């Protein structure tokens, strides 16, 4: 029996009118009827249960490709991934982000051929569902474009409805100079169709054809796909490249009002049929543009904290904390029910556009040179005047923070970056190659010719197990230390994504902040050295009333007791961290 929320349906109807209301060929009432008929598809939305909380202090997301680990006899990679997580991450990872696992033709999955199928090289839906039995899952909804090898695009070329209207064509003489370009190659790609030569919109590559969201049929294709994914165990849906969704000639085609309406519409649909599913937007843009996808608390539940990865790199490599501290202090209070998706590394590189307005150009250039010295590649984007600017740094986070002359010091610096991420307000997301201590995969770049391959190594499970179980290897040391951080972070209410965070003024070589549990039951002071020198500071300088009542406090990061008192000092080794817990009576 379908029980539809009248309030949600009214909001959705309003959004459809704002998007399609000026198009005489679109009947919004009919769209509402289609939506009502869709509810119940795959069993989704028939009896949605209220959700008191979307996340907790124990939520940690693992980011991985379906085949990041492989090589078990008679097992597909998704089954191997399940065994790996069960053996090495049980109870320490709550959610697994499986990067695009459908059949694809390029961009390591982000050029989707068939959204409703699992790539047979990875496994089957049964393997996904088995993984969902033990972990919640995060899937990508690649909304902006699909593969030119998809059935949709083949139908477009052949003039077969409804897909004959699923893609955007444009006269190549049209002035498109205002359009924001994330890639340096042409925006339009020539295609031979049944009706002659057409020029289709291709924001990211000639294999990734942009979809025409002005056709409501495209919306309903993706609503159907959304319902399918929910039925397979998806708890977080990632709206990939959402900022580019709607196109209007004469604009920059980025963050347009209609795009925001679509995000709100997806939020309304989820609240009606699957209120336990979290909506996450992926917008690798300057910070203020990025957080606009929270709306007024009516858009995304989470946005990627894109400024954090490059700011941490800059602070840890330079020893200058001012940019990081000033940015962290400037973060506004988030709308209720909204939080950051904190990460340092992902399948993409470290974006540098999110530094715009935060870090001066000469400091960005300095950072690029430092990571290039550590083997990084740099991807560029094309500006309206035809020039190119840096878009992202392609490097593993372990390599980016390495110290060529002192491997152990580099490991300490990397662990410091991860400790900050794990303590920062929001939900932490750990890329599998950070967990495993993977260095730059230079051979892969040479094989594919793609800079991003440097951070997308595929590990044979037998080789990998030998490395991470051996503490004589960098992989083994980093894995052990990472797992320790995850375990010591658990069950502390001060690390709830909604728990307030206050950046503290202290020694300029440190980055310190306090997290306070929403119920006031505990405070955790997180202090991190951004220096290659040993730092000593008076405990009282942390302004946490240490020593007023207790003679000692607990540092849960290092599992040690710290003596308190007005003359006591906190000693931090190079790139060391402490998490000082203060319990309330």
> Do the Cβ atoms of 311 and 323 come closer than 8 Å?
yes
pLDDT at 550: 59
As given in the structure block, the two tokens for residue 497 are: 């994504």
pLDDT at 49: 85
User: Is 215 known to be catalytic?
Assistant: no
As given in the structure block, the two tokens for residue 509 are: 């070589």
φ, ψ of residue 63 in degrees (nearest 5): -100, 125
Exposed/middle/buried for residue 22 (C-beta within 10 Å: 0-12, 13-18, 19+): exposed
Distance CA 117, CA 211 (A): 19
As given in the structure block, the two tokens for residue 341 are: 């998706």
Exposed/middle/buried for residue 1 (C-beta within 10 Å: 0-12, 13-18, 19+): exposed
Buried b (16+ CB within 10 A) or exposed e, 420-439: bbbbbbbbbbbbbbbbbbbb
pTM of the model: 0.96
pLDDT at 584: 57
φ, ψ of residue 408 in degrees (nearest 5): -70, -35
Q: How many CB atoms lie within 10 A of CB 442?
A: 13
Q: Name the nearest CA neighbour of 100 among 73, 128, 126.
A: 128
Q: Give yes or no for a cis peptide into 162 (omega within 30° of 0).
A: yes
As given in the structure block, the two tokens for residue 405 are: 């002359």
240, 348, 498, 555: which is the annotated catalytic residue? Answer: 240
Cα end-to-end span (Å), the chain: 50
Distance CA 57, CA 15 (A): 34
Q: Where are the beta strands (DSSP E) in 442-540?
A: 459-460, 501-504, 510-516, 522-529, 535-538
Per residue in 137-186, pLDDT tens?
A: 999 999 999 999 999 999 999 999 999 999 999 999 999 999 998 888 89
pLDDT at 163: 98
Number of helices (H), then strands (E), belonging to the chain: the values are 17, 25
Beta strands 136-142 and 95-98 are parallel
Angle at 518 between CA 516 and CA 523, to 5 degrees: 20
Name the β-bridge partners of 141: 239
> Distance of CA 199 to CAs 189, 294, 302, Å?
5, 34, 35
Specify the 3-state DSSP secondary structure of 184.
Answer: coil
563 Cβ neighbours under 8 A, 6+ residues apart: 551, 552
pLDDT block averages, 10 residues each, the chain of length 585: 81 97 95 96 91 94 98 95 96 97 97 98 98 96 98 98 98 94 91 97 97 98 98 97 97 98 98 97 95 97 97 98 97 94 95 93 94 92 77 96 96 98 98 98 95 97 97 98 97 97 95 96 96 92 59 90 85 97 71
């Amino acid at each position: 029996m379908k029980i539809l929320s009248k309030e949600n349906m009214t909001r959705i109807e309003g959004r459809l009118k704002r998007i399609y209301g000026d198009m005489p060929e679109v009947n919004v009432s009919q769209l509402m009827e289609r939506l009502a008929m869709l509810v119940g598809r795959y069993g989704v939305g028939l009896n949605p249960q209220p959700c008191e909380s979307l996340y907790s202090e124990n939520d940690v997301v693992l980011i991985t490709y379906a085949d990041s680990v492989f090589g078990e006899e008679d097992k597909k990679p998704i089954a191997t991934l399940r065994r790996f997580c069960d053996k090495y991450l049980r109870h320490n990872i709550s959610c697994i982000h499986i990067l695009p696992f459908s059949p694809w033709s390029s961009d390591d999955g982000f050029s989707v051929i068939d959204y409703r199928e699992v790539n047979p090289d990875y496994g089957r839906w049964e393997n996904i569902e088995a993984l969902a039995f033990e972990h919640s899952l995060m899937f990508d909804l690649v909304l902006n474009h699909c593969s030119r090898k998809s059935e949709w695009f083949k139908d477009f070329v052949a003039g077969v409805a409804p897909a004959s209207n699923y893609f955007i064509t444009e006269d190549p003489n049209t002035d498109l100079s205002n359009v924001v370009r994330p890639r340096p190659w042409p925006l339009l790609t020539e295609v031979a169709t049944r009706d002659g030569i057409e020029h289709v919109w291709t924001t990211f590559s000639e294999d990734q054809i942009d979809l025409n969201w002005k056709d409501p049929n495209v919306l309903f294709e993706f609503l159907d796909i959304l319902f399918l994914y929910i039925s397979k165990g998806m708890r977080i849906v990632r709206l990939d490249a959402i900022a580019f969704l709607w196109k209007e000639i004469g604009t920059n085609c980025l963050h347009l009002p209609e795009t925001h309406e679509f995000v709100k519409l997806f939020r309304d649909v989820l609240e009606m049929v699957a209120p336990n599913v979290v909506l996450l937007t992926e917008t690798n843009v300057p910070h203020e543009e990025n957080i606009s996808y929270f709306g007024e608390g009516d858009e995304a539940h989470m946005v990627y904290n894109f400024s954090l990865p490059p700011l941490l790199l800059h602070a840890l490599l330079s020893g200058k904390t001012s940019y990081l501290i000033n940015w962290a202090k400037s973060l506004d209070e988030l709308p209720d029910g909204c939080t950051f998706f904190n990460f340092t590394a992902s399948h993409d590189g470290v974006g540098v556009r999110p530094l715009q307005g935060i870090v001066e150009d000469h400091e960005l250039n300095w950072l690029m040179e430092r990571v290039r010295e550590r083997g990084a590649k740099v991807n560029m984007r094309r500006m309206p005047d035809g020039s190119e600017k840096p878009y992202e740094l392609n490097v593993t986070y372990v390599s980016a923070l390495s110290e060529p002359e002192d491997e152990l010091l580099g490991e300490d610096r990397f662990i410091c970056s991860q400790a900050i991420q794990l303590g920062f307000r929001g939900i932490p997301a750990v890329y599998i190659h950070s967990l495993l201590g993977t260095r730059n995969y230079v051979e892969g770049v040479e094989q594919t010719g793609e800079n991003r391959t440097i951070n997308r190594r595929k590990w044979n499970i037998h080789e990998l197990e030998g490395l991470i179980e051996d503490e004589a290897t960098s992989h083994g040391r980093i894995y052990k230390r990472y797992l320790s951080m995850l375990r010591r972070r658990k069950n502390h209410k001060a690390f709830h994504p909604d728990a307030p965070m206050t950046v503290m003024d202290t020694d300029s070589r440190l980055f310190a902040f306090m997290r306070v549990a929403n119920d006031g039951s505990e405070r955790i002071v997180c202090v991190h050295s951004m220096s290659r020198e040993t730092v000593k500071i008076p405990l009282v300088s942390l302004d946490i009333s240490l020593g007023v009542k207790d003679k000692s406090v607990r540092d849960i990061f290092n599992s040690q007791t710290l003596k308190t008192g007005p003359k006591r000092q906190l000693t931090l080794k190079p790139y060391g961290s402490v998490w000082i817990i203060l319990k309330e009576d």
